[in-house]
Structure 1
Amino acid sequence: MERAAEVSQFGVRISNARITGQLDLSACRVDFPIYFHDCRFVEPILIEGGALHSLFLVGTPPTEGNTAKSSVPGILGNGVRIQRDLLLSHTLITGAHQTTSSISSSSAVWLTEAEIGGRVLAVGTVIDATGDRAIQADRCQVTGDVRLIQGFTANAEIRLIGAQLGGSLDLAGCQLVPRNGRALDLAEATIGGSLFINDSPRHAPLIRGRLELGRASINGRVLVREATLSAPAAGVGRHHYNAKDPAQRLAIVAQGASIRGELSIDEKTSVDGGITFAGAAIGGGILIDGATIHNASDVALDLTHAEIGSKLSAVAANIHGTVDLDGAEVAGPLDLTRAEIGRPVRRYCLTAIRAVVHGDVRLVDAKIGGTYPATIPGGSGGVGFRGAELRGMFNAEGAQVVSPGDKSLNLHQARISGNLRLCNGFRSIGFVALNRALVEGRLRCDGGTFEWHPREAGDSRLTERNDRAVAFESISATFRGGVGLGWSIVGAVDFTDARTTYLADGPAQDWPLHDSYLSGFKYERYASISMHGSGEWGWKARVRWLRDRDPAASDEPGDTGPWEQAAQILKNHGDSTGSEQILVAYQRTKRQRRVGWARSRLLRGLDRIFNDWFRGYGYRPLRALIPLALLVIAVAGPLLPARESQVMRATDPSGVVYTPRGELSLVESGQQPGETCGKGKVRCFNPWLYAVDTVVPIVDLKQRSTWSPSSDAGGAWMLAWFNVATLAGWAVSSLLVVGLAKAGSRSLN
């Protein structure tokens, strides 16, 4: 340094030297490069507070079986300012040193608050630290790239808290295997370029410890390719000041991180442990197609309240553990096509409560919750989008969701702007819950299978309460584009208070016997499941559907709402006859289920005759003419024989008594009366007119008021019968009048 003026612009180069004293450049200014090649230092290099042009500690790449020729027992460079590059390639760095930058931890390399105007390059560098950390460079500033690549190895933590890197951080082919469980700490760091954890020509990246990215800012992308990431054991590697982790074992911890580019984890990457980006902002989207993330019975991928600026794609990903998207916002589609997710921490393999997805949700051919019957107890789990807003379609064609004893698909209060497709091979083990959901498009279930099964043996998790054993529940849901069934279902179906435009179903096979809850279910028309044709409009088929699927017990009357809805649909589309037939069928079904006195077989038979034959349950009022006619015949019959009719008596105004044959006194004296009606003094007797006058109260033919059976002539029983017939006639006539009035009112409506 005293002869710096004699040094060329290429600086000082020292090769193959063994340096026994300490290189002390602290607080020194060196305006030329210093280059050590294949040199071995006995003492650590001290450059704290120095101002250097550039520093090279490089060695020849070691051949197989040979050790590194360049070695140094530590670098102490807190606060150093290096105008150009810092190169540490193919150098063995050892040691454990303490500085005033930390009161408790030691490190092999200290670069806290250092300023490097060029790059930091460590190709094939090995840091064999005997202390707490391999590199501690908190709040350092590097204008260029930091490249720890191609066999770079560290057996302790690399700490870059609050660092500001103007370029990229490249960890291609690195080997980070710390003893304390923290591999790389980039908390609150700023990276002007990208973060690469990818393969190099002869090395695959291996990180056995936590990768901390909490509140870090990365202006480029994050690429993880052909890497092996392994989280430490539960409770190992955490900072004491960290917030509570969402999982016991985490490989990547990035709460609140900001990534302007894309987060990409490729198909050849294996992550043993969880990943959390809770509250992070990832502008370029997340691409983890084909990746393997295993954190069984815990959270595998935590994206709660994250903002994902593009799509979230996990096509063909293999994930053990829960994928948590609660409160997240995805600016594009959520694509889980052919993904396999199982062994969740609690109930759901995928949970997205109150999440917002601006594109489609694709679960095509996905396998959620493992297999049924399960090979691993507790491996099942459902999909939960409770309260989510999905601004595209929800497509689960061919997907299998296994969650026995629980909700397989929970869309409670969700809003879907497109179609809801649970069709073409979709299978649900558990029950699908769409309560109070709003689907702007269609619900398609054709070709789907829905089965309710309780928890399997060995699964200790609580069972979701399901008293009705429903396999599909959509209470108060709205399907504005229509409902298409055509499914295979094991369990009950609940469409209570649901609303839709059309109902496309097979009434004979799509609805479970006595387990179809349809109270308040509103729809506007019937349609074909295939959308070709007109659907099932026959009133007989609809009657069988409503009668056989009604969940009411045999001694309960049932709900009239579904019957009236079906009748109204037929009437609105011009089939008034079919509409009335459905309403009559409901009354008949209700009569058959009556309790109390109607349990008697005789009374039930009479009730059936009265309602089916003579009344038509109020919808066939003219049938009341039949019992009226029978009453007329029953009254006239006893009066038709001449001998029986002689019990009838009439009295003229002068008090003369007459029989149907004439004046009573002449008949009793054996004379033949000349006039049977006393020349008009009394109305002539006619058995048929008398029967009509007796039975029909609204008709007055002056027969009943003129003639009456005489008890003296043995007509007491006949008088009693006529009185009974009068009362019966009043009742039947009243039914006729009321029925005609109701029929008129229905026709007006």
Structure 2
Amino acid sequence: MWDAYPSGAWVDLRTGDDRLDDPAEAVRWGRERTVRAGLITALMLGAHPAGPGQVAGLRLAGARVVGDINLSDATIPTKLHMLSCHLSGVVSLTDATVKGIRFRGCDMQRVRAARCTIDGLLELNSCTVHAGVRLDNARITGQLRLSRSRLSAPDGPRSTSESFKEDRSRPLSETEKRERGWDQNHWALWAGGLTVDGGAFCRDLRTVGGLRLIGAHFNSGLYLQRAVIQSTGPQAVNADHMQATSVEFSAGFTADGTVRLRGARVTGVLSFDQAVLSAPDRCLHLSHMQADELILRPASARGEVNLGYSRIGVLLDHPTAYPGHVRLNGLTFESLRGDTSFADRLAWVGRDPEGYRPQPYEHLAAWYRRIGHDQDARAVLLAKQRARRSTMRVPGRLAGYLLDLVVGYGHRPWLAGVWFGLLLAVGTAVFATHPPAQVGLDERRIFHPFPYTLDLLVPVSVFEQRGAWEPVGWTQWLANILIASGWILATALIAGGTRVLRPQSN
């Protein structure tokens, strides 16, 4: 390896037998395949520089590396590439500046690369890392590759349970936060503030522990198709305030714990298409975020969904995306797509765990009006008034029931015509068989039941029939009911008309 380093030649210690070359079985390898970590460190730090016309680099396959590879704070102009190796110690690149780091098919203890600058590729494809990877505030100008890797949190496997439910009733102490998995020991990937200029490819990643990506920047996208994240705390992914061109939690992505992207910014597509999401409390926390398009079509989901105060261009969803409560207060969107029916949309805006919220109804109605579905918009606003009614005191509820029955809170004014026609028909039929008595006998009058009933129903007498005829017997009650009903219908029409003209009022 000493001789190969100056020219960057490969040192391959593999036997060619896949079973014998498995890095997980490195304990059986002999001394001929053992390399001291100190030698690797010395070479990378320039102990044996390249000669004229050579490009140095360390390329090693099938070796058992003993000890820690400590390259912290160093500036390394050469590349490190290790294939199917077993590294029993820690690979430390904290505050280092390197050209490129590649580990493929390796079995590793831990990787520490906080604040590292990598001018090229960082690859951990098909690797097993037993005690987590640290990349907080690192900068990678090329790609980050973690596809088909297996990462475990430093504390080891623990399953998500009811004990990890977030208690929002009081602030947590530092001890409680550590117990609930909010420290490094419960994250398989600790990468807050990471910046990746190339794509971050984590397809088929498997972790025992969460992904902490708070404030990370993925300038060419984050791709987690078919990844399986088994959290050891309440959150499977914490990517608050993350910025990315596109994010794929799709194609079988599985999260055991909350996926949290509060305040994230995605300039392209954020996709949960065919994802499997499960959490005892909240499976998706997507509040205060922005996305050009959000695809919420999971294969299965369990837990609450929070979209509050987010701004979304296109929302493509399905009813199965919302298995429990859904928080929509403050959510705005430009367009809705998907197989969701109108009835599902009405149920969608009314499932806030804190009860009635007017804004989701109003925004949904505005969208229906914008696309020309005025009838659906009126139905949404009617549902809003009915939901609001449940928050009122008894007098307000009674008035609400009356407005709903008579004119549908002004969104169904034709109901007043139905009631008016029904009362007019009943009154005409009754007074035709039980005519009232004439008030004045100085002139002879001919009684007509239709205009008489119509005059009773109209609040202001038009045909002058009320003063000319006096109902007799029990028909006096009917006359009084018709007069009162006329006033009620007129009042309801005025109140309802006001709501039609101001549909955004509360």
* Pair 1:589–1:167, CA change in 2 (3 A): closer
1:491-570 aligned within 5 A: 491-507=303-319, 509-513=320-324, 515-527=325-337, 535-536=338-339, 538-547=341-350, 550-552=351-353, 556=355, 558-570=356-368
Partner of residue 77 from structure 2, selected from 260, 285, 301? 260
When residues 148 and 737 of structure 1 are mapped into structure 2, their CA distance, relative to the original with a 3 A threshold, is: closer
**Which residue of structure 1 lines up, in the alignment, with residue 277 of structure 2?**
450
1:402 Cα deviation (Å)? 0.5
Change (3 A) 1:689 1:428: same
Q: Structure 2 vs 1, CA of residues 343 and 411 (structure 1 numbering), >3 Å: closer, same or farther?
A: closer
Distance 1:317 1:541 in 2: 44
Could you tell me which runs of 5 or more consecutive residues in structure 1 were left unpaired when the two chains were aligned: 1-146, 151-165, 174-200, 232-250, 295-299, 370-380, 454-468, 528-534, 650-657, 664-674, 678-683
Post-superposition offset of 1:698? 4.7
For the residue of structure 1 that corresponds to 2:147, the secondary structure is coil
The question of 1:293 aligning with 2:108 is answered yes
Q: Is the 8 A contact 1:526 1:536 kept in 2?
A: no
Listed one character per residue, the Cα deviations across residues 408-428 of structure 1 (whole Å, up to 9, x for unaligned) are: 1111100002x2111111110
Matched, 1:206 2:206: no
Please name the residue that 2:408 is paired with: 616
Report if aligned partners of 2:329, 2:360 keep a CA contact under 8 Å in 1: yes
| Letter matched to residue 567 of structure 1 | A
Matched, 1:324 2:134: yes
- Aligned-pair identity (%): 21
Letter matched to residue 352 of structure 1: A
Partner Cα distance (1:167, 1:414) in 2: 41
Give yes or no for the alignment of 1:436 onto 2:263: yes
Residue 302 (structure 1) aligns with:
112
Aligned partner of residue 32 in structure 2, secondary structure = coil
**What are structure 2's unaligned runs of at least 5 residues?**
13-29, 50-55, 156-184
Distance 1:393 1:521 in 2: 24
Q: TM-score scaled by structure 1?
A: 0.54
Once the two structures are superposed, residues 610-645 of structure 1 have per-residue CA deviations (whole angstroms, 9 ceiling, x without a partner) of 455531232011311233334445655664445x61
In the other structure, the counterpart of 1:475 is 287
Q: For residues 214 and 590 of structure 1, what CA distance do their matches in structure 2 show?
A: 72
**Does structure 2 retain, via aligned residues, the 8 Å contact 1:258–1:282?**
yes
Instruction: Report whether the alignment pairs 1:413 with 2:246.
Output: no
Q: Do 2:113 and 2:135's aligned partners in 1 also have CA atoms closer than 8 Å?
A: yes
Q: Which has the higher contact order (CA 8 A, sep 6+)?
A: 2
> Are the equivalent residues in 1 in contact too, given 2:266–2:292 (CA < 8 A)?
yes
- What letter matches 2:75 in structure 1? S
AA aligned to 1:366 is L
Q: Distance in 2 between matches of 1:626 and 1:253?
A: 85
Relative to structure 1, the CA distance from residue 611 to residue 737 in structure 2 (aligned partners, 3 Å threshold; closer, same or farther) is closer
Question: Structure 1 residue 148: deviation in Å?
Answer: 6.7
1:375-402 Cα deviation digits (max 9, x unpaired) = xxxxxx1011100111011111111010
Query: SS where residue 693 of structure 1 aligns?
Result: helix
Distance of 2:142 and 2:217 partners within structure 1? 13
Corresponding residue of 2:174: none
The structural deviation recorded for 1:590 is: 4.9
Whole-Å Cα distance in 1 between the matches of residues 147 and 462 of structure 2?
83
3-state DSSP class of the match of 1:288? strand
Contact 1:496 1:519 (8 Å CA) reproduced: yes
Q: What secondary structure, in the 3-state scheme, does the structure 1 residue paired with 2:287 have? A: coil
User: How many Å apart are 1:581 and its aligned residue?
Assistant: 2.6
CA distance in 1 between partners of 2:43 and 2:333 (Å): 52
Q: Distance in 2 between matches of 1:577 and 1:709?
A: 44
Distance 1:208 1:445, change over 3 A: closer
Q: Deviations over 1:281-308 (max 9, x none)?
A: 002x1101112112xxxxx111010100
Q: Is the 8 A contact 1:402 1:429 kept in 2?
A: yes
Aligned partner (choices 139, 142, 146) of residue 336 of structure 1: 146
RMSD: 3.7
Offset from partner CA, 1:452-479 (integer Å, 9 cap, x none): 14xxxxxxxxxxxxxxx11111001111
| Offset of residue 694 of structure 1 | 2.9
Question: Pairwise mapping of residues 221-240 of structure 1 onto structure 2 (< 5 A)?
Answer: 221-231=57-67
Is the contact made by 1:216 and 1:256 (CA closer than 8 Å) also made in structure 2?
no
Assess, with a 3 A threshold, how the Cα gap between structure 1 residues 687 and 256 changes in structure 2: closer, same or farther.
Answer: same
- Asked if the contact 1:709–1:718 (Cα under 8 Å) also holds between the matched residues in 2, the reply is no
- Residue by residue over 1:721-741, the C-alpha shift from the partner in whole angstroms, topping out at 9 and shown as x without a partner, is 645543432221122134345
TM-score (norm 2): 0.78
1:571 aligns with 2:369: yes
Rg: which structure is higher?
A: 1
Q: Which amino acid aligns with 2:317?
A: D
Is the 1:422–1:444 contact (alpha carbons within 8 Å) kept by the matching residues of 2?
Answer: yes
